[in-house]
Homo-oligomer: A and B are copies of this chain.
Amino acid sequence: MDAAVDILDRRGTSGLTMRSLAEGLDVTATALYWHVNTKEDVLDLAFDHIFGEVALPEPTEWQHDVRHLMKAWRAVLLRHPWAPAWIGRPVLGPHVLARTEFLQSALSRGGLTDLHLAVTTHLLANHVIGSALTEATFRRTSDPGLRLDARRHITADPTAFPTLNASGHLDANRWNDDELFERGLDAILATTHTKNATAPHPNTSSRATH
């Protein structure tokens, strides 16, 4: 796993091949199939492996615990930029589950139960996943011109994108990613105070989508 993570960090997902991993371990590529069924298994294991880096401290004040874990979670995903994109696989290894337990236990100490608890858990998970995926994408893509291209596409046609122009969307100099993440975190935690924050909107059916 250390060897696999090392290759992934240095050469990305496409850089990890059964042959390159085998070389790092001084064996033949085919030898790996004794320990693993498929290449996807290697990546699944590597993903759960890096979550071991997220330390689980002694529980203290619940909001502090939630913030602490969320930031550590995010840091790990950004330290291994190949990781967020791999969430397109069911990643439910023991390390991941242990961290989820820690998070949800903090939330329930905060008084959340049932639907409210489930919604907040998902909201938090989606926030780390979504932001880490987006950021890692731009960090990983060697071509920094892509963000600039899109930004130019926006500024080039102010009448088509009035709001995006006014708000400075995709303008890297305007808002800092860390700050956007933490303010989002603040907002989610704020919904845990207001009773009935998750009460349905009058004309909203929970089945409308499908």
Asked if A178 meets B119 with Cβ closer than 8 Å, knowing A90-B141, A104-B164, A201-B186, the reply is: no
Spot the interface stretch: A2-10, A15-23, A24-32, A190-198: A190-198
Assess the B194–A121 pair: CB atoms within 8 A.
no
Cβ-based interface call for A172 (8 A): no
Q: Are B115 and A126 in contact (CB under 8 A)?
A: no
With known contacts A71-B208, A183-B119, A87–B126 Cβ distance under 8 A: no
- Distance in angstroms from A151 CB to nearest chain B CB is 9
User: A199's closest neighbor in chain B, by CB?
Assistant: B186
Q: Which residues of A contact B (CB under 8 A)?
A: 63, 67, 71, 74-75, 78, 84-85, 87-90, 92, 94, 97-98, 100-101, 104-105, 108, 114-115, 117-123, 125-131, 133-134, 136-138, 141, 146-147, 149-150, 153-154, 160-164, 166-170, 174-176, 178-184, 186-191, 194, 197-201, 204, 206-210
- What are 29 A-B contacts with C-beta separation under 8 Å? A63-B201, A71-B208, A75-B209, A85-B85, A88-B137, A89-B141, A90-B147, A92-B146, A92-B153, A97-B150, A104-B163, A104-B164, A114-B167, A118-B169, A120-B187, A123-B127, A125-B130, A126-B134, A127-B127, A127-B130, A133-B133, A178-B207, A183-B198, A183-B200, A186-B198, A186-B204, A187-B197, A189-B201, A190-B197
How many protomers of this protein does the assembly include? 2
